[in-house]
Structure 1
Amino acid sequence: MEDSELVRISQGSLAIMNPTTPEKVLAAGRASGLRKGSRVVEVGCGNGTILALWGREYGISGVGIEVREDACRRAEEAFRASGLGDRIAVRCMDAREYVPDEPFDCAAAIGASHIRGGFAATLDALLGMVSDEGRIVIGDRCWRSDRAPPEFAREWPDVLTEYETLGTVREAGLDVAAVIRASRDDWDRYESGIWRSVLSWLGDHPDHPERDFMIDYLHRLQDEYFGYGREHMGWAMYVLVPGFW
């Protein structure tokens, strides 16, 4: 099964496709200084929920970049339903090919670091999209400590500890203005949403040729989460600002 279809089945119905909440998303926007007139780009915007939240609460304008056509349609619907269709648009394309016409005030990648292959590459790409005074918000996985079991850590070679994340941020000439972490309840809610989506799909597709693959996929996700993930894997949004040195 193609990755885009797998994401559509497992996460397409989730309002926020990450282990966080609307309140925490708004907190990240507030820490970023978003306000009326701020121009924001979100790489890998999914179904548009985050931009819609920021648009309603802070009056931003901007653009979401998303490669999956089904997600692009949902994002457009979300912006129209929120009365933001004239201020926030969707570009349905590979985010690696996006070049802005002018710098943004804020660039975000919430759970989308995989597009560039990790935190450092994502940070570098977002820096190229903002003005000299621009803010960056990255939501990404992190190790809760440097003691994750090797057999689990090898499955996630691009994940950093938070101390490594801090070093990467400073090397880029930035400071961390805020960190907004996922709680274990956030993780449970997010993972459970994925499991329910897959189970619903299995119930609706008893004769699908990919049924055995999806059963195995569900069980692998649960094995990973209960065996290692809940204890060792974290997730957080980092609000980054230009450094003062």
Structure 2
Amino acid sequence: MERQEISRIAHRDHPVAAPLSDEAVRELLERLLRGRADGRLLDLGCGEAPWLVRALAAHPALRAVGFDTDPAALRTALRTAERLGVARRIGLHHCDAREFTAAEPFDAVLCVGATHAFGGLGPALAAIGPLLAPGGAVLLGESYWEREPAPLARELFGDGLTDLAGTVAAVRDAGWRPVAGHTSSRAELDAYEWAWTGSLTDWALDRPPGPEREAALRAADTHREEWLTGYRDSFGFVTLVLRPVS
């Protein structure tokens, strides 16, 4: 199975592809779109576009654009937009984050769990800056270490993460300031991991014996083991509403 297919299946029973509750997603979107609900919203790495379709359904004057490298996810996003009656107000594009260009700026930008596509937090914010209209805001979701990670956790996530204070300092050093934020709770973090591994396992157990079933079970088992023995006690996730200083 391809990694993108595994990810699509693993995220099917969770509100978004991030450790956030349904209520947190609602509150963060409302804060991001305060005073911007009649503007343009961009999602950098939208997947099946749960953030976008939700925002469009709640705000009839809003328009949205999303892009992703997974064409199957984009097809699902379009079907969802059609079902909710918002398809005319959304544009979905199959392209790499680093290749995206915009004819006009956006009033709000989503980059939740996607800074890796740009090479890290700093490069992501540098790329977002020119896409943002004056008075605009960014919803940024980023991983961090709540405490010193175990060697396995560092091996899994590399050396790009710091603690929460370091993450906020990196945002500030890049020329941005948080105006709101949400630190994912232990319940949100655990719910996300149980949903990820559980959805994939459930899908596999509904399949007849064969390579796809075994690949999905193996991916779920590996992920669950890495979470429980590697990073559960040290991993954190913060979602910030940011505005540029200049």
- 1:77 counterpart residue number: 79
In the superposition, the TM-score normalised over structure 2's length comes to: 0.89
Map of 1:30-49 to 2, 5 A cutoff? 30-32=30-32, 33-49=34-50
Q: Does the 8 Å contact 1:66/1:92 carry over to 2?
A: yes
Over 3 Å counting, the alpha-carbon distance change for 1:53 and 1:113 in structure 2 is same
Q: Does the 8 Å contact 2:204/2:212 carry over to 1?
A: no
In the superposition, the TM-score normalised over structure 1's length comes to: 0.89
Deviations 1:26-62, CA, capped at 9 Å, x for gaps? 2222322254312110011121211122222234212
Counterpart of 2:58, as a letter, is: E
Structure 1 stretches lacking a partner, 5+ long: none
CA distance in 1, matches of 2:43, 2:243: 16
Question: What SS is found at the alignment partner of 2:127?
Answer: helix
Q: Does the 8 Å contact 2:6/2:200 carry over to 1?
A: no
Q: Does the 8 Å contact 1:46/1:71 carry over to 2?
A: yes
Deviations 1:65-123, CA, capped at 9 Å, x for gaps? 12211211111122222221121221122222110111111111112223223222222
- 1:115 counterpart residue number: 117
Number of equivalent positions: 243
Question: What SS is found at the alignment partner of 1:100?
Answer: coil
**Is residue 2:200 matched to residue 1:186?**
no
Q: Does the 8 Å contact 1:179/1:236 carry over to 2?
A: yes
Give 1:166 deviation, angstroms.
1.3
Counterpart of 2:97, as a letter, is: A
Map of 1:46-125 to 2, 5 A cutoff? 46-59=47-60, 60-125=62-127
- 1:150 counterpart residue number: 151
CA distance in 2, matches of 1:34, 1:114: 29
- 2:219 counterpart residue number: 217
- 1:7 counterpart residue number: 7
CA distance in 2, matches of 1:82, 1:214: 30
Deviations 1:129-151, CA, capped at 9 Å, x for gaps? 11243211111211113x22233
Give 1:127 deviation, angstroms.
1.5
**Is residue 2:25 matched to residue 1:25?**
yes
Percent identical among aligned pairs is 27
Structure 2 stretches lacking a partner, 5+ long: none
Q: Does the 8 Å contact 1:135/1:241 carry over to 2?
A: yes
CA distance in 1, matches of 2:63, 2:144: 30
CA distance in 2, matches of 1:234, 1:38: 32
Question: What SS is found at the alignment partner of 1:128?
Answer: helix
Aligned-pair RMSD on alpha carbons?
2.0
Question: What SS is found at the alignment partner of 1:89?
Answer: strand
CA distance in 1, matches of 2:204, 2:156: 26
- 2:16 counterpart residue number: 16
**Is residue 2:177 matched to residue 1:175?**
yes
Moved more, 130-139 or 214-223: 214-223
CA distance in 2, matches of 1:34, 1:14: 28
Q: Does the 8 Å contact 2:152/2:230 carry over to 1?
A: no
CA distance in 1, matches of 2:241, 2:10: 28
Moved more, 85-94 or 11-20: 11-20
Deviations 1:200-237, CA, capped at 9 Å, x for gaps? 23223343225444333222211222223222111121
Counterpart of 1:155, as a letter, is: L
